[in-house]
Amino acid sequence: MAWHVLLLGGGRMDLHMANRDIVAIGTSAGGVAALQYLAERLPADFPACVLVTIHLSNQHRSVLDEVLSRAGPLPASFASDGVQIRKGHIFIAPPDRHLIVENDRLLLGAGPRENNARPAIDAMPRSVAVCCGPRAIGVVLTGTLGDGASGLRAISRCGGLSVVQHPDDAAFPQMPESALRTMRPDHIARLKDMPRLLADLAQQPAGEPVAVPEQIGFEVEIAKTGRSDMGEMDRFGRRSVLACPDCHGVMWEIDEGGLTRYRCHLGHAYTGELMNVAVDENLRRALASAIRALEEKVALARKLQREAADRGHNLAQSTWAERASEYERELNVVRDTVLRIEAAAAKAAE
């Protein structure tokens, strides 16, 4: 087996006989069951570190580490800041932190949310790509919308191998489908075949060093520190007419093969699909605010109408009655709009 010289993300030279010793898995809906299946069947001498990012709520304590540890021979734990990665261990991104790999250590990033989530599925494999791409195996499992495709593509661009669960085999096929639209992975596999496939791939020698695209490193830094730069964003994307759903700032449109992403000057990021969902949610909130405001205007106008009547001010009473009727007509227009939107959404979901 040949010796490999790898330049890691922090600039450190690491001379060693390396195999594909980092497996970066991204999943969301249906992912717990898929992860359990893999944990049950990966061998005790699995020669790689397994990193997992799955959307977890920060509202209550997760026991996913205990579930995966009980499922099979590999110990599982939530990642801690500064911990050295090690083979034969499963590290899980903790709630409300991006999981970052740097110089073979785990860091917990507090950067902005991506696709309305932290930990973001794409942030971890991007950091793996920068840190140790030729040693990496990226995996996209079951999940909704377009998460994971960008991170998997980053691993592939930096010399790593890519694996996508077959959409027909996934509980929720959208994440695998998005990855397949964005790139041609090295392997498309059903879940039942993945334990053996990953064990075989992990034993392969690491690939040759590959120059890391600046954009990938820049986005990892955003996830780690939260620091962005408008000049840098101008280099990697083009300014969009859309405003950020989170901070309402300028957004840049980034093209990645068949995937369109958006990132704002503060670092919030969305795929095109998630951007559409976020804009839709903002519209619904705006319409709800409009309904509340118009209901308040109607109530206030009717109150002032009654007070004018009690004081015998006929002109003022008539004026407030007309305004109340006008506000009620506007209120009905907005309510009808909301009903049409809800009906269209229900029809699209059929």
**Does 107 lie in the same domain as 69?**
yes
User: Do residues 129 and 157 touch, judged by C-beta distance below 8 A?
Assistant: yes
**Does 331 lie in the same domain as 184?**
no
- Residue 154's pLDDT is 97
Q: How many domains does the chain have?
A: 3
- Residue 14's pLDDT is 47
**Does 298 lie in the same domain as 181?**
no
- Residue 345's pLDDT is 66
State the DSSP string of 314-345: HHHHHHHHHHHHHHHHHHHHHHHHHHHHHHHH
Return the C-alpha torsion angle 21, 212, 112, 54, nearest 10.
-30
Residue 175 located in a structural domain: yes
Query: From the candidates 21, 65, 147, 169, which is the catalytic residue?
Result: 147
Query: From the candidates 4, 21, 55, 127, which is the catalytic residue?
Result: 55
Residue 214 located in a structural domain: no
Residue 301 located in a structural domain: yes
**Does 244 lie in the same domain as 103?**
no
**Does 296 lie in the same domain as 260?**
no
Range of the domain at 245: 233-267
**Does 257 lie in the same domain as 156?**
no
Residue 338 located in a structural domain: yes
Domain boundary among 267, 286, 320: 267
**Does 168 lie in the same domain as 283?**
no
Predicted TM-score (pTM) of the model is: 0.81
Exposure string of 145-169, with b = 16+ CB inside 10 Å and e = fewer, is bbbbbbbbbbbbbbbbbbbbbebeb
**Does 279 lie in the same domain as 257?**
no
Residue 23 located in a structural domain: yes
**Does 180 lie in the same domain as 58?**
yes
3-state SS assignment for residue 47: coil
Tens-place pLDDT, residues 207-253: 999 999 999 999 999 999 999 889 989 999 999 999 998 898 999 99
Q: Strand 250-256 relative to strand 259-264: parallel, antiparallel, unpaired? A: antiparallel
Rounded CA-CA distance 55/32 in Å is 10
User: Do residues 102 and 131 touch, judged by C-beta distance below 8 A?
Assistant: yes
- Does residue 4 carry a catalytic annotation? no
Contacts of 57 (CB under 8 A, 6+ apart): 95
- Residue 175's pLDDT is 96
**Does 152 lie in the same domain as 114?**
yes
**Does 288 lie in the same domain as 255?**
no
> Which residue in the block uniquely carries the two structure tokens 């976020």?
278
**Does 261 lie in the same domain as 279?**
no
Residue 208 located in a structural domain: no
Return the C-alpha torsion angle 190, 195, 197, 202, nearest 10.
140
Query: From the candidates 21, 28, 98, 150, which is the catalytic residue?
Result: 28
- Does residue 55 carry a catalytic annotation? yes
Structure tokens at 319: 């004026």
User: Do residues 194 and 166 touch, judged by C-beta distance below 8 A?
Assistant: no
- Domain containing 56 — which CATH number? 3.40.50.180
Residue 145 located in a structural domain: yes
- Does residue 69 carry a catalytic annotation? no
Q: Which of 215, 282, 291, 290 is nearest to 254 (CA)?
A: 215
Number of residues assigned to the chain:
350
Task: Provide the residue type at 18 as one letter.
Answer: A
10-residue mean pLDDT series, the chain (350 residues): 36 59 97 98 98 86 95 97 97 96 96 93 98 97 93 97 98 96 96 98 95 95 92 92 91 88 93 81 80 91 92 91 91 84 68
Residue 101 located in a structural domain: yes
Domain boundary among 242, 267, 292: 267
Rounded CA-CA distance 33/40 in Å is 11
- Residue 303's pLDDT is 93
